[in-house]
Structure 1
């Protein structure tokens, strides 16, 4: 969900303030640690860190347990925690950033990294990585790059997610559709939607069940489609990586499927704010584009016939990539950056913390911990773990760095412009032209 960006007062980062005073970050860290160190053993004393995240009750309970273990390992350090649902968390974090500083350690969405790093709200982590306060040797280097901005590491991936389709295997079998495999194409996906619609199954409200939700409204679907054709969303922090023709072709493809009745109607697509309100959750569709982390929620709601399938390809080329489900960043104004970095390292790399957190944030980015925890998985969690392994063997391109600061606004405009197409207020080309114009303005601002 996008967060407000306009009118935000930017504050100088702690690093900038120190630089202006002629003091390096290492000196600041040393001074902080000296002032707060124990009388013996160098253990920090009397320190309170703030740490916030979003997520459900299970994630909150497990995270609290891991934090308590960190406190036991660091006598004198207290961690004050807070969490909430995604929407309220995003708004609160934006308010904190505008008001002078985010928590010492904060969970971040992929789309926030460039925004907060570029706005001086996040501390660069290069020094903490170099001195091994934060260890990264067990994280894939390409995946670690997702937390960079202008060549510097500002955030650390906390979970490794990948896209796919939750689909009703019983309905697919009834329609004579083979279980989707890596390499199936967008054309095969479109035909599967048509075959489901042709069954004439009835939803709880009496309407005909369609093949899937309308992906035209979702920028993530477009990115997978675009990357499968060798394209990309952004050429750099200030330029789009696609053209008006690219977007027109994609939206025309989606528009035609909706007009045929193969995918969900516009009124059902715009209501989809959760699994429960999505077309598949309401019994109106047989499939839904989603991420691996939320997938267990589909089976809990709809039963064990719901399976997880790869995103379609273009001639076998997959547009998916491993994306951070969320990241960790240290607030630029933290009074205790060393301890905040130690907490980040503990949550990402400590084996015991890994056992506690499990897959609550999707696959742990630390490969050793992921393999360790995977031995305990079962049901839908085991399915998505094996799915990720299968896709990795199939071959995926390296993930891009964090999207530009204007990406949240571009994503919002993307949804709005396609809704105009879905309601017959604009042609795919007219909407694509307006989206390009909006995006160019946003990326230049």
Structure 2
């Protein structure tokens, strides 16, 4: 169809433009004009070809409704995007509007890169859950607004689980009940019940929250002690020694892709992941993956929460703050834009749009939406965005647990080592 060819041509042009910016750099944010005196906004984001096509279509709708604004939309894969954005921010050349990860917000807000969006009347946030909206606040200012939400899940092969004769996961199950299920699965399926969660800071956070604690305090310090971490690692290391979760040789192969997880390689029955990215298991689990709630604390306190899958922000030095706010508002709140974008960035955070959109979702998008709906009203508010040092600490967390799983350090020794390094990182 002619419209399809136009969209493909525009997307291809955007990709070429982004490649050019990698080589030559971009013009600054401070007031560029397009043809006919139009305001030009740079809106950068990460994604895949499907997200690219949908985003371009939504941007075209925005330009049609705002004929005085032209939007340039370079995008890339996550790693390349993260590096490029860091370079632009350091050089005072941040894009007018940008997609942000949870762990970028504190870094860029405290570095003076982001605009306080709370002062922009063009940006409506009334239909966004107050707890989710607060995750984009740093030092009392709304530097980022969540665009979509996700939540952690126990993703599993339901056919193997059922064949083992183990009761399926139930809402409100505890970590002890999860551990018993992993032992039973390992005994009856002759493979680990799950990927060892000891290496996952995300799983540790859910466990901590179920005990009434948090990864970080409001003043960006550690919210737990070495004793807390030692208890977690003693728990997971014990399951590894029993063969209930994956061995060290498999856990150290994890690289962020579902293909290299024990579940993805057919060497475990379940895994911990975020709901939308679990779509990657569709090609790896013969009958498709099933999503279940994360385990709760012993008293039923949920540690799981709805987390913004990504945010939108604007540059502090943009020459067009009002137009940048208009673009963000459109991408979050316009029903036509929502129909085009679907769940490509996760389930929308705008509550009225989510209610209208959910009945029309299909395939795994519907699976994710149904899973989230089953948790509505039962989860606690999400934490604020983590301090910028958390990026480095994720790697430290995995490294120190490797020492435990290869039996080079005891859980207590590794926990003390991690806490010492974490405190130093957060002070820097």
- Is the TM-score greater than 0.5? yes
Q: Which residue does the alignment assign to 2:260?
A: 277
Matched, 1:368 2:337: no
Q: Deviations over 1:329-350 (max 9, x none)?
A: 1012212221111110000000
Aligned positions of 1:157-176 closer than 5 A: 157-176=146-165
1:127 matched residue in structure 2: 119
* CA-CA distance at 1:200 after TM superposition: 4.5
Write out aligned runs for 1:391-410 (5 A).
Answer: 391-393=375-377, 395-410=378-393
Matched, 1:58 2:60: no
Please state how far the C-alpha of 1:122 moved relative to its aligned partner: 0.7
Question: What does 1:287-302 align with in structure 2 at a 5 Å threshold?
Answer: 287-302=270-285
Q: Is the 8 A contact 1:238 1:444 kept in 2?
A: no
Q: Distance in 2 between matches of 1:101 and 1:154?
A: 17
Counterpart Cα distance in 2 of 1:37 and 1:66: 19
CA distance in 2, matches of 1:45, 1:344: 22
Q: Give the SS at the match of 2:85.
A: helix
Which of 237, 241, 250 matches 2:223? 241
Say if 2:311 is the partner of 1:322.
no
Residue 135 of structure 2 is matched in structure 1 by 146
What is the rounded CA distance, in whole Å, between the counterparts of 1:177 and 1:378 in structure 2?
29
Structure 1 position 399, deviation (Å)? 1.0
Q: Does 1:109 align with 2:109?
A: no
The one of 232, 236, 245 equivalent to 1:263 is 245
Structure 1: stretches of 5+ with no match in the other structure? 1-13, 15-27, 39-43, 202-208
Shift of 1:156: 0.5
Query: Which residue does 1:333 correspond to in 2?
Result: 317
In structure 2, the partner of 1:41 is: none
Given that 2:54 and 2:340 are in contact with CA atoms closer than 8 Å, whether structure 1 keeps it comes out as: yes
Q: Distance in 2 between matches of 1:127 and 1:291?
A: 32
Q: Is the 8 A contact 2:148 2:308 kept in 1?
A: yes
Query: CA separation in 2, counterparts of 1:144 and 1:240?
Result: 23
Residue 254 of structure 1 pairs with residue 236 of structure 2:
yes
Which residue of the partner structure matches residue 22 of structure 2? none
Q: Within 1, Cα distance between the matches of 2:264 and 2:324? A: 40
The residue number in structure 2 matching 1:444 is 427
SS of alignment partner, residue 51 of structure 1:
strand
The correspondence for 1:422, drawn from 405, 410, 414, is 405
The question of whether the paired residues in 2 share the 8 Å contact of 1:237 and 1:405 is answered with no
Would the aligned equivalents of 1:170 and 1:305 in 2 still touch at CA under 8 Å? no
Secondary structure of the equivalent of 1:326?
strand
Q: Structure 1 CA distance, aligned partners of 2:383 and 2:376?
A: 16
1:286 aligns with 2:269: yes
> Once the 2 structures are TM-superposed, how far is the Cα of residue 235 of structure 1 from its aligned partner?
1.5
User: Would you say the 8 A contact 1:125–1:154 is kept in 2?
Assistant: yes
Moved more, 281-290 or 171-180: 171-180
- The offset of 1:219, in angstroms, is 0.4
Asked if the contact 2:246/2:262 (under 8 Å) is kept, the reply is: yes
1:411 to 2:394 alignment: yes
**Residue deviations 1:273-327 (CA, integer Å, cap 9, x gap):** 2011111111111111011111222124323342001101113221011110000
2:330 aligned with 1:346: yes
List 4+ stretches of structure 1 deviating above 4 A: 35-38
Number of the residue aligned with 2:8: none
For residue 433 of structure 1, the aligned residue among 416, 422, 427 is 416
Is residue 45–residue 77 contact of structure 1 (8 Å, CA) maintained in 2? no
Conserved? CA contact 1:53–1:106, under 8 Å: yes
Q: For 1:239, what is the secondary structure of its paired residue? A: coil
TM-score by structure 2 length?
0.89
1:334 and 1:304 map into 2 onto residues whose CA distance is 49
**Cα distance in 2 between the residues matched to 1:191 and 1:56:** 39
Matched residue SS, 1:314: coil
In the alignment, structure 1 residue 181 sits paired with structure 2 residue 170: yes
Q: Which residue of 2 aligns with 1:383?
A: 367
- Per-residue Cα deviation, 1:389-411 (whole angstroms, up to 9, x for no partner): 21123x11111111112221222
Deviation string 1:107-127 (CA, Å, 9 cap, x unpaired) is 111011001000111111111
Supply the distance in 1 between the matched residues of 2:260 and 2:358 (Cα, whole angstroms).
30
Deviation, structure 1 residue 379: 3.0
Shift of 1:378: 2.6
**1:192 is aligned to 2:185:** no
CA shift, 1:143, in A, is: 1.0
Counterparts of 1:301 and 1:67, CA distance in 2: 34
User: After alignment, is 186-195 or 241-250 more displaced?
Assistant: 186-195
The aligned length equals: 398
